[in-house]
Amino acid sequence: MTPVELSRTVLRAVRRAVDEGELSVVVPVRAVVTPPGPGGCGDYATNIALQLARPAGRPARQVAEILRPHLTRSEGVADVAITGPGFLNIRLGGGAGASLVREIQRRRDAYGHGDILAGQIVPLRIPYDIRAEVVADTLVRIVATQGGRAEVHHIHIHPSRAEPAGTDLSRAEPAGTDPSQAKTAGNDPSPAEPPRTNAPQADPARPHRLHRPRPQITTRPPPAPEDPTPLGPDAARWALLHPASHDRPRISADHLLQRESNPLFRVRYAHARTRALIRNAAALGCTGDPGDVPEDVPGGGELVGALAGYPAVLTQAALHRAPDRLARHLVTTADALLAFQHTVLPLGDEKPSAAHRARLALAEAAGTVLAGGLSLLGISAPDYL
């Protein structure tokens, strides 16, 4: 069961509780399903009970107790536990890892893409600064994965009117912004045509509430202390994107080191390892076939969890204009893959088995996610490293 399928399962449980008169609420459009946080358990967790508590007029834990049996009886769900103020922690039955791998195989680079920003135009105001340029360029791609379109407007920051560094979500208007300095995905930052929008034009004879001008978003992270371009395009982008938007980036040759201490190296090396595993498996006549990976396989559970959490990370990176969330999640995924890789291929005289094919399919899925995430950051994912 994939996170999308589990989200639908949670909504069906809410619908059954409403139909049976146990809850009096409007069934929400979507249910958020993520890997469990600190104190959680199982494969996934959802805050649907907390979301419904107020409209239901009941404590969140009571709502969770109502939903728990409906979820437990759902196909593919092995157990449901309630933790904290009312989080539902779900442990899946057989087939969870296999379904996730099949979903990644089916969607490939589109895995994790959603529609939470469908039809929305996200205007970004940035100063003429290399870090702001790289962050905005990356946000254009990340916002697009969620169905939105980011438009980048260049602004001049006057020392006497300097704004706080970071990402300002206040209702600031782009005073003094030249419309000819706006760009959308793929355009050059040099003066261009004013941004075009597919939004329908409002009828002047009647108000159109659906297409009010959105507040401009000022993206102004602390600039790099020195020019990062000598690091090369990949290391330079990582140095500017990996720190949180309020942190000053560190520009040093450490980003070029092929060592475990370098997060960029670990991510790219993990992707290269997935390609090597596929090549070596082919030499043994073995191909990947989705299947469940036992929980006691080193790194297996962590890797499944990281891959399952990738869509939520993309969504949060788009909503909060935070490409650093994606960069850090790729590090988590890479570390899980590097711990898992040693279990994938047969050792010695061992013959390839269904277990090896399932692990190979999981490793290949991890490579797909790593390559896709690096591509969104504008960083290459070499097959050999």
DSSP string of 17-68?
HHHTTS--SPPPS---EE---TT--SSEEE-HHHHHHHHHTS-HHHHHHHHH
pLDDT tier at 379, thresholds 50, 70, 90:
very high
* Nearest by Cα to 9 from 98, 64, 76: 76
Does residue 185 surpass a pLDDT of 90? no
Does residue 179 surpass a pLDDT of 70? no
- The predicted structure's pLDDT at residue 218: 67
Does residue 376 surpass a pLDDT of 70? yes
- The predicted structure's pLDDT at residue 374: 98
Task: Summarize the confidence of residues 105-112 as an average pLDDT.
Answer: 93
- The predicted structure's pLDDT at residue 112: 92
- The predicted structure's pLDDT at residue 168: 41
Does residue 26 surpass a pLDDT of 70? yes
Q: Which of 167-171, 241-245, 257-261 has the lowest mean pLDDT?
A: 167-171
Does residue 62 surpass a pLDDT of 90? yes
- The predicted structure's pLDDT at residue 350: 86
- The predicted structure's pLDDT at residue 164: 47
Q: What percent of the chain has pLDDT over 70?
A: 82
Contacts of 191 (CB under 8 A, 6+ apart): 178, 180, 181
- The predicted structure's pLDDT at residue 221: 86
- The predicted structure's pLDDT at residue 213: 42
The dihedral formed by the CA atoms of 350, 354, 355 and 361, expressed in degrees to the nearest 10: 120
- The predicted structure's pLDDT at residue 40: 81
pLDDT tier at 157, thresholds 50, 70, 90:
low
Does residue 183 surpass a pLDDT of 90? no
- The predicted structure's pLDDT at residue 215: 53
Please give the residue that has the higher pLDDT: either 305 or 342: 342
Please give the residue that has the higher pLDDT: either 318 or 42: 318
Rounded CA-CA distance 150/62 in Å is 41
- The predicted structure's pLDDT at residue 344: 94
Task: Summarize the confidence of residues 199-226 as an average pLDDT.
Answer: 56
Please give the residue that has the higher pLDDT: either 110 or 217: 110
For residue 374 the two structure tokens come to: 């690096």
Which long-range CB contacts under 8 A does 263-266 form with residues at least 24 apart?
263/238, 263/327, 263/331, 264/234, 264/235, 264/238, 264/379, 266/331, 266/334, 266/335, 266/338
- The predicted structure's pLDDT at residue 1: 67
Order of all β-strands in the sheet with 149-155: 166-172, 216-220, 121-127, 149-155, 182-183
Task: Summarize the confidence of residues 302-316 as an average pLDDT.
Answer: 89
Contacts of 377 (CB under 8 A, 6+ apart): 138, 237, 238, 241, 323, 326, 327, 330
Q: Which of 57-71, 91-105, 179-193, 231-245 has the lowest mean pLDDT?
A: 179-193
For residue 371 the two structure tokens come to: 């390559």
Does residue 145 surpass a pLDDT of 50? yes
- The predicted structure's pLDDT at residue 180: 39
- Are 297 and 96 contacting, i.e. CB atoms less than 8 angstroms apart? no
- The predicted structure's pLDDT at residue 203: 43
- The predicted structure's pLDDT at residue 189: 37
